[in-house]
Amino acid sequence: MTSTQAPAPGRAPIRRPGDRIFSGVSLGAGLLILAILAGVAIFLTVQGIPGITASPDEVKSGKSFLPYVWPLVYGTLIAATVAMLIAVPVAIGVALFISHYAPRRLGQTLGYLIDLLAAVPSVVYGLWGIGFLAPHLVPFYAWLDEHLGFLPFFGPASATGRTILTASIVLAVMILPIMTAICREIFLQTPRLHEEAALALGATRWEMARLAIFPYARSGIVSAAMLGLGRALGETLAVAMVLSVGVGTVTANLIGSDNPSTIAANIALGFAEATGKSVNALIASGLVLFVITFLVNFAARSIVDRRKEFSGAN
Residue from 73, 83, 84, 94 binding another protein (CB under 8 A): 94
Q: Identify residues 230-269 at the interface with another protein (CB under 8 A).
A: 230-231, 233-237, 240-241, 243-249, 257-258, 261, 263-264, 267-269
Question: Counting contacts by CB under 8 A, is residue 121 touching another protein?
Answer: yes
Distance between terminal CA atoms of the chain?
Answer: 10
Question: Counting contacts by CB under 8 A, is residue 122 touching another protein?
Answer: yes
Part of the chain binding another protein (CB under 8 A), chosen from 50-58, 67-75, 144-152, 306-314: 306-314
The closest alpha carbon to 248, from 285, 294, 286, belongs to 285
Angle between helices 277-303 and 17-53 (to 10 degrees): 130
Q: Identify residues 63-82 at the interface with another protein (CB under 8 A).
A: none
Question: Counting contacts by CB under 8 A, is residue 19 touching another protein?
Answer: yes
Q: Tell me how far apart the alpha carbons of residues 229 and 274 are, in angstroms, rounded to a whole number.
A: 28
Question: Counting contacts by CB under 8 A, is residue 281 touching another protein?
Answer: no
Q: In sequence order, what are the residues at sequence separation of 6 or more whose Cβ sits closer than 8 angstroms to the Cβ of residue 47? A: 279, 280, 283, 284
The closest alpha carbon to 110, from 171, 169, 188, 181, belongs to 181
- Decide: 117 and 94 in contact? Cβ < 8 Å: no
Q: Identify residues 21-50 at the interface with another protein (CB under 8 A).
A: 21-23, 25-30, 32-34, 36-37, 39-40, 43-44, 47
Among residues 92 and 255, whose Cβ is nearest to another protein? Answer: 92
State the Cα angle at 78 between 276 and 265, rounded to 5°: 30
Among residues 9 and 272, whose Cβ is nearest to another protein? Answer: 272
Among residues 153 and 214, whose Cβ is nearest to another protein? Answer: 214
